[in-house]
Amino acid sequence: MADGRVVCVHCTVGQVVHTLPEGEPVIGVTSLADEVYVLRWKEHDQVEVYDVITYWLERCLTVPKLRGITDMTSCEHYHCVYISDPTVKCIHRLGLDVQGAATRWAANDEPYGLSVNAAHNVLVACRVVRKIKVFSSHGYLLRELTLPNDVFNPWHAIQTRNGEFIVCHGGLSDPVNRVCKISKDGRRILHSHGGQRGSDTGQYDVPFHLAVDSNEFLFVIDVYNRRVTLLSPTLDYTRQVVTSDKLKWRPTRLYLDTQTQRLYVTDDEWKEGEFTVGRVVVFSV
């Protein structure tokens, strides 16, 4: 509140503040300890590390035995990043402290989107089998939930502070493309946004990735509509945060730095059946 007026932090469209260099397709982005981590599809030096203030490239990290990638997330508590590898059905853990080491554990199903909950555990969305698996930081399976029957192709899942789950799901051939808030036991849909695939404000064309702010407002990547939508904690439409005119290609993943209010959006070119080049666009939100 300023001079008796209420200031709304969710009322303007995000503004571009920086664009990281174009290069190999970007499959994930996150930040940790004043650094930005960008995951690219290549044989070596897959993780590029940038300064969070200057955006200068500081170093590159190679993930051993990486065969395929679908997402990356980070954990401040354990000071590490996680990378999903559907080719060998595992999660890679890359320690970032002085004695950090690269390890991996079996997911036993193809892992897609990754997130870390308030208990510092890793949520893995397993799209083909319609499950969410929860692992400890070192790969112990703590919980496995089968999603409701009408939740097809769950790409990404996050867990709220009170233990409910938010899932984005639906592909090009699915009848429903939407975002759902699901009960703690994984059995009931409590709220949803979306439905039949389309381009209206209440629709999605492959909702693929999520981020949440400190007030549990939700940012949703909408791949083929080329935008990022903001939803309230009860999944009511709020506004478009990123519009197609701010992007060069297709957005696929995002990360919100709640300390700096910077939204990192991957922007990849799709050409002749594959992603060929990518970058990260940084927005102030």
For the stretch 177-228, pLDDT in tens is 999 999 999 999 999 999 999 999 999 999 999 999 999 999 999 999 999 9
- Buried b / exposed e over 60-74, threshold 16 CB at 10 Å, is ebebeebebbbbbbb
Residue 258 falls inside a structural domain:
yes
Per the structure, the count of domains in the chain is 1
Residues of the chain with pLDDT > 90: what percent? 89
Residue 165 falls inside a structural domain:
yes
Give the model's pLDDT for residue 209: 98
pLDDT tens digits for 151-178? Answer: 999 999 999 999 999 999 999 999 899 9
pLDDT tens digits for 104-150? Answer: 999 999 999 999 999 999 999 999 999 999 999 999 999 999 999 99
Residue 256 falls inside a structural domain:
yes
Give the model's pLDDT for residue 98: 57
99 pLDDT higher than 80: no
CATH of the domain at 154: 2.120.10.30
96 pLDDT higher than 90: no
Residue 53 falls inside a structural domain:
yes
Q: Tell me which residue has tokens 């930081």.
A: 137
Give the model's pLDDT for residue 77: 96
Residue 121 falls inside a structural domain:
yes
pLDDT-based confidence at 14, cuts 50/70/90?
confident
pLDDT-based confidence at 1, cuts 50/70/90?
very low
57 pLDDT higher than 60: yes
Q: Which residue segment(s) compose the domain that 264 sits in?
A: 15-171+241-284
Q: How far apart are the first and last CA of the chain?
A: 18
d(CA 258, CA 217): 11
pLDDT tens digits for 255-273? Answer: 999 989 999 999 999 988 8
Give the model's pLDDT for residue 7: 37
Residue 78 falls inside a structural domain:
yes
pLDDT-based confidence at 97, cuts 50/70/90?
confident
Residue 47 falls inside a structural domain:
yes
15 pLDDT higher than 50: yes
Residue 214 falls inside a structural domain:
no
Asked if residues 226 and 247 have their Cβ atoms less than 8 Å apart, the reply is: yes
CA angle 186, 79, 57 (to 5 degrees): 115
